[in-house]
Amino acid sequence: MAENKIAKCCEQSSNKVLQDNNYNNNEATELIGDENCCVDEVGEMVQKLVRIFQLFERDQIKVHGFTSSQCYSLIEILKSGSLTMNELSDRMNLDTSTMTRVIDKLVRDELIKRERDEADRRIVLVTLTEKGLEEASKLNQSVNEYYKKIISSIPIGKTEEVLNAVSILLKAFDTANPNCC
């Protein structure tokens, strides 16, 4: 029963997209319900996703002794070799002052070192120490193993469909709150 409600809601949403993009489709106009269509369904799904990510954080990241921001900062630096504080702030969707506090703790724990750019001394580069490289590699492996489990649980041939749906959802979040992510 709930699937039929979601299917009808999805149909209405698709038709709304047609109308919003100025397609001349009289059927689309007739099928569109009220603007609250799917609010409960989408809300429930997003709440479930948030909860799952909280559990993921607890089980995959905090067991290593890191916050999510610290974990993903280490992984971003691992992938890039070094980043400026501004680049890292942008990638992490955090303001510079928050990013500085995250990095301060990682510097204190000797996982990251700060260096001034040789060409422009105003720019601060962050790189992993040897200890940081070890920890970032462990974190990256742990996170990737978890993602592999997720991917293996997606029905064969549906991974691209899931990625497309998540991409649409991310764009919708960005549109709804452009200052967020």
Structural domain tally of the chain?
Answer: 2
171 within some domain: no
Q: What percent of the chain has pLDDT over 90?
A: 54
| pLDDT, the chain, mean | 84
**115 strand-pairing partners:** 125
H or E element, residue 131:
helix 130-152
Q: Are residues 101 and 130 in the same domain?
A: yes
Provide the residue range defining the domain that includes 9: 1-37
Judge whether 97 lies within some domain. yes
pLDDT digits (tens, 9 = 90+) for 111-138: 999 999 888 888 999 999 999 999 999 9
pLDDT for the residue numbered 1: 44
pLDDT of residue 166: 92
* Inside any domain, residue 168: no
Q: Is residue 56 in some structural domain?
A: yes
126 and 93 in a single domain? The answer is yes
Strand ranges (E), the chain: 82-84, 112-116, 124-128
Q: What is the torsional sign of CA 35, 40, 41, 44? A: positive
Long-range contacts, stretch 172-181, CB < 8 angstroms, 24+ apart: 180/93, 181/93
Phi, psi (5° rounding) for residue 137? -65, -40
The vertex-26 CA angle with 172 and 28, nearest 5°, equals: 30
Same-domain pairing of 29 and 62: no
> Do the domain assignments include residue 158?
no
E strands, 33-129, are 82-84, 112-116, 124-128
Q: What pTM was computed for the model?
A: 0.73
Q: Is the pLDDT of residue 33 over 90?
A: no
Does 140 lie in the same domain as 89?
yes
Same domain? For 33 and 64 the reply is: no
Task: In whole angstroms, give the CA distance from residue 84 to residue 120.
Answer: 11
Asked whether the predicted pLDDT for residue 19 surpasses 60, the reply is: no
Mean pLDDT of 140-149: 92
Q: Is residue 127 part of a domain?
A: yes
Residue 139 belongs to some domain of the structure: yes
Which tens digit of pLDDT belongs to each residue from 68-108?
999 999 999 999 999 999 999 999 989 999 999 999 999 99
* The pairing of beta strand 124-128 with beta strand 112-116: antiparallel
Q: Which two tokens stand for residue 138?
A: 């462990």
66 and 135 part of one domain = yes
Radius of gyration over every alpha carbon of the chain, rounded to an integer in angstroms? 21
Q: Do 12 and 84 fall within a single domain?
A: no
